[in-house]
Amino acid sequence: QVCSINSRFAKVHILYVGSTPLKSSFRGTIRREDIRATEKDKVEVYKSFRPGDIVLAKVISLGDAQSNYLLSTAENELGVVVARSEAGVQMVPISWCEMQCPQTHTKDFRKVARVQPQFLQT
């Protein structure tokens, strides 16, 4: 779950490993260059994630003392899986880079995950 973002990275809490819930959350960081596989220099963090988003990511390294785990969403299957709009409604993906609120029909940029069927159980 994304906690905070800035222009260089997103700070996250790791809540699950696979389908196993963790007893306590671990901190992680998704760096700007680890968000997408292509056009890494054009990625903008605020167009990929927002605080509160649930993200499917891969651990790429243990990181350092401040950031703990380094995570990546640089695959089509990885990215935002659950996002809430400003109205508090769960948003629906409409493309690989946008989600829409079904109530207000406002669109927001996100790095949308193409979720594989095995990850769809809630």
Summarize pLDDT for 77-106 with one digit per residue, the tens: 999 999 999 888 999 999 999 999 999 999
Give per-residue pLDDT as tens, 28-38. 999 999 999 88
**Considering the domain 2-119, what is its CATH architecture?**
Beta Barrel (2.40)
Domain ranges within the chain, ordered by starting residue: 2-119
Lookup: tokens for 98: 């946008």
Task: Kindly calculate the radius of gyration of the chain based on its CA atoms and give it in whole angstroms.
Answer: 14
pLDDT in tens, 4-21: 999 999 999 999 988 889
From residue 65, give the alpha-carbon distance in Å to each of 16, 28, 62, 103. Answer: 21, 11, 9, 42
